[in-house]
Structure 1
Amino acid sequence: MIRILALVATLALAFPAAAQELTVVGLDGKAKVLKAADFAGFPRAEVAVPQDKGSKTYEGPILAYVLRAGGLPVGPRLHGDPLRAFVIVTGADGFQAVFSLAELDKDYHDGTVVLGDKVDGQALPAKEGPWRLAVSGDKKRWRSVFGVTRIEARLSDAPAAKPAPAMDHAH
């Protein structure tokens, strides 16, 4: 009986730790698993997210630093082909939202995007945690993915637009 209780206790301790992991998949397809402790030194910010009545303020690490830790090009490294990249943020319930990589980078976009671990000064409720994506400037909260477990970057494979034919201005 003691062995069974010890096993149950061990499993109970293991599940919250697993829930505190975030997988970031880079443009090269390589996945990196980040833990909550990895975010400890990242700059933090607050973002107000509109609700049906009023708003909620989410606080957490600025997403660009999380993306950098996961191997994605941000800041000065975000140029050339990576400007064609998009990011899929997935929650524990399977909900996904899509962003351009540049849209998530403070060097390209005025808005702030955080991986919130607090709401209105308190820890996130269990159904929203361990992290909730919060995007400033969005008029609706629909891209505010909760229970974020995975962030995957991909390059757009859309063919380049053909240049418009030269205009003949000779009349």
Structure 2
Amino acid sequence: MKSLLAALALVLTPALAAAQDFTVVGLDGKARTLTAAQMADMPRESVKLAGKKTYEGPVLAYVLREAGAPSGARLHGPAMRTYVVVRAKDGFAAVLSLAETDKDFSNGLAILADKVDGQPLSERDGPYRLVVDGDLKGSRSVWGATSAELKTAD
């Protein structure tokens, strides 16, 4: 019985790990897949959504930097037309300007939460949930987030 459980764990582990991957697409059109381990190693913050639950996860700005997103002093001029589309596994999407994700431009904070109130997200809400500090409603809180794509407005 133990060997059957061990074999099952070996088979399911890659599938569970793949479910935690997050894809980020840069302005160059190249997709980069970040593993759950890579996401866990990024700087993390906590955000209270609409004054209720506390979400914790990697800061969106650091995830976007993996795709070459400009930040800080490099975020000026034409780069100010850059926006990010965060997409969910069910097709829902929300848009933020790149400046909204940068601490040099915004007092708010956007994270890709993987925990809520200290517990892992539910299967419905995971693998990640976009949470934007300061939002009064959860309408931009993309649950089931699987990707983010950088784009430039005309």
More deviation in 129-138 or 38-47? Answer: 38-47
- Partners of 2:45 and 2:12 lie apart in 1 by 32
- Once the two structures are superposed, residues 105-124 of structure 1 have per-residue CA deviations (whole angstroms, 9 ceiling, x without a partner) of 11111101111111011111
- Partners of 2:43 and 2:7 lie apart in 1 by 38
In the TM superposition, what are the counterparts of 1:19-58 in structure 2 within 5 Å?
A: 19-50=19-50, 55-58=52-55
Residue 71 of structure 1, CA deviation: 2.0
Paired residue type of 2:107: D
- Once the two structures are superposed, residues 110-160 of structure 1 have per-residue CA deviations (whole angstroms, 9 ceiling, x without a partner) of 101111111011111111111111111111101000111110011102xxx
Query: Which residue in the other structure is 1:124 paired with?
Result: 121
* Contact 2:110-2:131 at 8 Å conserved across structures: yes
Q: Between Structure 1 and Structure 2, how many residues are aligned? A: 150
Answering whether residue 150 of structure 2 is matched by residue 149 of structure 1, we say no
SS state of the match for residue 66, structure 1?
A: helix
In the TM superposition, what are the counterparts of 1:15-164 in structure 2 within 5 Å?
A: 15-50=15-50, 55-157=52-154
Identity of aligned residues (%): 54
SS state of the match for residue 87, structure 2?
A: strand
How much is the aligned-residue C-alpha RMSD, in angstroms? 2.0
Residue 27 of structure 1, CA deviation: 1.1
Gap change, CA 1:13 and 1:41, over 3 Å in 2: closer
- Partners of 1:41 and 1:133 lie apart in 2 by 18
Return the TM-score normalized by structure 2. 0.88
* Contact 1:111-1:137 at 8 Å conserved across structures: yes
Residue 39 of structure 1, CA deviation: 2.4
Paired residue type of 2:141: S
* Contact 2:17-2:36 at 8 Å conserved across structures: no
Which structure has the highest helix share of the two? 2
Paired residue type of 2:27: L
- Partners of 1:45 and 1:9 lie apart in 2 by 31
> Unpaired segments of 5 or more residues in structure 1?
1-5, 158-171
- Partners of 1:111 and 1:154 lie apart in 2 by 21
Gap change, CA 1:17 and 1:143, over 3 Å in 2: same
* Contact 1:67-1:74 at 8 Å conserved across structures: no
- Once the two structures are superposed, residues 76-116 of structure 1 have per-residue CA deviations (whole angstroms, 9 ceiling, x without a partner) of 22122111011100011111001111111111111011111
